[in-house]
C-alpha cells in the first residue's frame, strides 16, 4: 500500500485537534465517556495461570490488567501514569471483537486520534496507541501502512488517503457492538487510584480507628464510675435462651408413604465434558479468509464450529486444510455454511450411585449453583407411562415378561450467559446432572448450556400414606 507521507496542512485539522499534553495518554474521550487505551496486549493460552499473569505484571511494571476472551484470549496491561483507573472499559477489546480478521485503522475521538492494529483477531502488542496531535497520528498511520500489506485499512475521510476502506465512526465500534473488558487493579496504588490517594485513605482510616478506640475507652470509664457509686456489683446478665425445637425422628419407611429412589449412572463428569469442549474448540476456532465465524457447539462426543461464506470459496478452505488436526472433519453445506468437527480425546467414565432429589430441592440446588452465571430456564418433564405387561392365560407356565424399570422424570436446564466453559465447568458436577450440549453464538458472545437433572416423581411424593 503506497500512501503520501506528507504532513497535514493546517486546513485539514478538524475541531478534534488539541495540545500534546492536555489529556492523559491512556484515556480516550467519546460522548462524555472515558475508555482505557494505550494498553500492552499479550496472547495467553491459559487465562487462569496466575503465575504467568504475575510475571508479566512484574516485567512490564503494570498497575492494571484485563482479560479479553474469545477466539483469541489476550491479557491487557495498563498503567497509572497513563491515566488508567480501576473499572475503566478497554476500548481495544470491544473494537477487535466488533471487526474480526486482520486490519488497522485510525479513529477520531473527542480529544485525540486513536490507532488500533489487529493481526488474525489478536490485538498487536504495540497496536493500541492514542495520539493528541493529528499530524503525529497521520504520519504514524502512513508508516504502519507502508511497513505491512494490510487487507483492510480505515482512516478519516478528511485525510483523502488512497487504498483505504473508508472511515468508521468510534460510536459504531464502542457503543453499538462493543463487548468490553474492564481494568482490574494489580496493586494497592492502582486500587486507590494513585499513591497519594492511598496515603490519604490509610491516614484517615488510622485516625478514625484511634477516635473510635478513644470513645470506647471513655464509655467504659463512665459506666464503671456509675456502677461504683451505686455500690452494686456487676454481674453478667444471662438472657433466656429460646426453646430449641428438635426435629422429629424420621418415620419408618412403611409410615412415610414414599420410597427413596437410587440411580446408578455410568458416564463422564460434566466438568470433564466441558474441559474437553474447551480443548476441542480451541484447536479449530480460527479465522478463514472469506468466511465469517458463526457458531460453535459441543457435546460429550465432539466439538463443531460453523463458518458462513462471505467472499470465500472451497479453494480457500482447502488451502488451509493442513492447519486443522488430522482428526478434524470438514463438511460444506449447500447453504454456504462450512462445518468443522473434531472428536474429543477419550474421556474417563465414572460409575455414580446417588439418591434422586425431589423436584423442589433440585430447583433450589440449580439456582444456587448457576444464578450468578446467567439466565436460567427449568422445565419438568415426566416420563411416558410404561406399558402394562399382558396377563398370562390360566394354566400357562410361561412367566410374566420382565418390564424395564421406569426412568425417573427430569428437570431440563437451559443456562444462557457470557461465561465460557473453562470458568463454569465445576458448577455442573451436581448429583443427577447430565450435560447434553453447549452452544456459543460467536457474534453475541453468548454461551448456552443444556442439561438434564434426574428428580423424584411427583406422583411418588404425592402418594397418600397407607392406613395405620
Q: What is the residue extent of each domain of the chain?
A: 14-192, 262-267+348-383+407-461, 270-343
pLDDT digit string, tens, across residues 335-381: 778 888 999 888 887 777 777 888 888 888 898 889 888 899 999 98
pLDDT digit string, tens, across residues 196-254: 665 666 666 666 667 777 777 777 777 666 555 554 443 343 333 334 434 444 434 44
Which pLDDT does position 25 carry in this prediction?
Answer: 77
**% of the chain beyond a pLDDT of 90:** 26
The answer to whether residues 434 and 267 touch, using CB atoms and an 8 Å cutoff, is yes
Q: How far apart are CA 151 and CA 130, in angstroms?
A: 22
The answer to whether residues 320 and 288 touch, using CB atoms and an 8 Å cutoff, is yes
Q: Angle at Cα 131 formed by Cα 129 and Cα 134, nearest 5°?
A: 140
Q: How far apart are CA 252 and CA 356, in angstroms?
A: 19
Q: How far apart are CA 116 and CA 104, in angstroms?
A: 6
pLDDT digit string, tens, across residues 293-344: 889 999 989 999 988 888 877 777 777 777 788 888 888 766 778 888 999 8
Which pLDDT does position 466 carry in this prediction?
Answer: 45
Q: How far apart are CA 361 and CA 372, in angstroms?
A: 18
Q: How far apart are CA 358 and CA 428, in angstroms?
A: 18
Q: Which CATH class is domain 262-267+348-383+407-461?
A: alpha beta
What is the average per-residue pLDDT within 23-52? 85
Which pLDDT does position 387 carry in this prediction?
Answer: 61
Q: Report which listed range, 305-319, 426-440, 449-463, is most confident.
A: 426-440
Other Cβ atoms less than 10 A from the Cβ of 406: the count is 12
The three state secondary structure string of the chain is: CCCCCCCCCHHHCCCCCCCCCCCCCCEEEECCEEEECCCEEEECCCCCCHHHHHHHHHHHCCCEEEEECCCCCEEEEECHHHCCCCCCEEHHHHHHHHCCCCEEEEEEECCEEEEEEEECCEEEEEEEEEECCHHHHHHHHHHHHHHCCCCCEECCHHHCCCCCCCCCCHHHHHHHCCCCEECEECCHHHHHCCHHHHHHHHHHHHHHHHHHHHHHHHHHHHHHHHHHHCCCCCCCCCCCCCCCCCCCCCCCHHHHCCCCCEEEEEECCHHHHHHHHHHHHHHHCCCECCEEEEEEEECCCEEEEEEEECCCCHHHHHHCHHHCCCCCEEEECCCCEEEEEEECCCCCCEEEEEECECHHHHHHHHHHHHCCCCEEEEEEECCCCCCCCCCCCCCCCCCCCCCCCCCCCEEEEEEEECCCHHHCHHHHCCCCEEEEEEEEECCCCEEEEEEEEEECCHHHHCCCCCCC
Which pLDDT does position 401 carry in this prediction?
Answer: 57
What is the average per-residue pLDDT within 31-50? 88
pLDDT digit string, tens, across residues 269-299: 899 999 898 888 888 887 777 888 889 999 9
Counting Cβ atoms within 10 Å, is residue 279 exposed (0-12), middle (13-18) or buried (19+)? Answer: middle
User: Is the confidence at residue 390, as pLDDT, over 90?
Assistant: no
Partners of 36 in beta bridges: 27, 90
Q: Which CATH class is domain 270-343?
A: alpha beta
For 56-79, letters b (16+ CB in 10 Å) and e give bbeeeebbbbbbbbbbbbbbbbbb
Q: How far apart are CA 81 and CA 39, in angstroms?
A: 12
pLDDT digit string, tens, across residues 53-82: 989 999 999 999 999 987 788 999 999 999
Place of cell 486507590: 192
Place of cell 488497522: 104
The answer to whether residues 454 and 468 touch, using CB atoms and an 8 Å cutoff, is no
The three state secondary structure string of 372-399 is: CCCEEEEEEECCCCCCCCCCCCCCCCCC
Which pLDDT does position 40 carry in this prediction?
Answer: 94
What is the average per-residue pLDDT within 421-428? 86
* Cell (9 digits) for 51: 503465575
Amino acid at each position: 500500500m503506497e500512501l503520501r507521507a506528507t504532513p497535514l496542512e493546517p486546513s485539514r485539522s478538524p475541531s478534534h485537534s488539541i495540545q500534546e499534553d492536555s489529556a492523559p495518554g491512556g484515556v480516550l474521550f467519546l460522548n462524555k465517556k472515558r475508555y482505557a487505551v494505550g494498553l500492552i496486549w499479550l496472547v495467553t493460552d491459559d487465562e487462569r495461570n496466575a503465575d504467568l499473569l504475575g510475571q508479566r505484571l512484574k516485567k512490564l511494571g503494570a498497575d492494571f490488567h484485563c482479560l479479553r476472551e474469545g477466539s483469541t484470549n489476550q491479557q491487557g496491561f495498563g498503567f497509572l501514569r497513563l491515566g488508567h483507573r480501576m473499572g475503566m472499559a478497554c476500548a481495544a477489546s470491544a473494537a477487535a471483537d466488533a471487526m474480526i480478521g486482520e486490519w488497522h485503522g485510525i479513529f477520531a475521538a473527542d480529544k485525540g486520534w486513536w490507532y488500533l492494529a489487529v493481526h488474525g483477531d489478536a490485538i498487536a502488542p504495540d497496536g493500541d496507541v492514542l495520539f493528541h496531535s493529528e499530524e503525529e497520528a497521520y504520519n504514524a498511520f502512513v508508516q504502519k501502512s507502508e511497513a505491512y500489506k494490510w487487507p483492510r485499512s480505515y482512516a478519516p475521510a478528511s485525510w483523502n488517503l488512497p487504498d483505504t476502506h473508508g472511515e468508521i465512526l468510534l460510536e459504531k465500534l464502542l457503543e453499538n457492538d462493543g463487548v468490553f473488558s474492564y481494568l482490574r487493579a494489580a496493586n494497592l496504588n492502582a486500587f486507590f487510584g494513585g499513591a497519594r490517594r492511598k496515603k490519604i485513605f490509610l491516614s484517615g482510616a488510622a485516625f478514625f480507628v484511634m477516635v473510635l478506640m478513644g470513645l470506647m475507652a471513655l464509655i467504659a470509664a463512665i459506666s464503671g464510675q456509675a456502677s461504683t457509686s451505686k455500690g452494686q456489683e456487676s454481674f453478667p446478665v444471662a438472657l433466656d435462651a429460646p426453646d430449641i425445637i428438635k426435629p422429629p425422628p424420621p418415620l419408618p419407611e412403611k409410615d412415610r408413604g414414599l420410597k427413596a429412589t437410587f440411580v446408578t449412572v455410568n458416564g463422564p463428569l460434566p466438568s470433564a465434558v466441558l474441559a474437553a469442549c474447551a480443548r476441542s474448540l480451541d484447536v479449530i476456532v480460527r479465522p478463514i479468509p472469506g468466511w465469517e465465524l458463526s457458531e460453535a457447539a459441543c457435546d460429550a462426543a465432539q466439538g463443531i464450529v460453523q463458518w458462513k461464506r462471505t467472499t470465500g470459496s472451497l479453494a480457500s478452505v482447502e488451502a488451509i486444510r493442513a492447519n486443522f488436526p488430522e482428526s478434524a472433519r470438514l463438511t460444506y453445506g449447500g447453504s454456504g455454511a462450512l462445518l468443522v468437527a473434531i472428536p474429543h480425546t477419550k474421556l474417563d467414565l465414572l460409575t455414580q450411585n446417588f439418591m434422586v432429589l425431589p423436584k423442589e430441592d433440585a430447583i433450589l440446588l440449580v439456582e444456587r449453583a448457576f444464578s450468578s452465571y446467567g439466565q436460567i430456564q427449568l422445565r419438568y418433564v415426566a416420563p411416558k407411562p410404561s406399558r402394562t405387561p399382558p396377563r398370562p392365560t390360566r394354566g400357562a407356565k410361561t412367566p410374566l415378561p420382565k418390564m424395564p424399570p421406569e426412568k425417573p422424570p427430569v428437570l431440563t436446564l437451559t443456562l444462557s450467559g457470557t461465561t465460557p466453559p473453562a470458568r463454569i465447568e465445576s458448577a455442573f458436577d451436581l448429583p443427577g446432572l447430565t450435560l447434553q450440549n453447549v452452544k456459543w453464538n460467536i457474534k453475541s458472545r453468548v454461551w448456552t448450556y443444556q442439561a438434564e437433572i434426574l428428580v423424584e416423581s411427583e406422583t411418588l411424593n404425592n402418594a397418600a400414606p397407607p392406613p395405620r
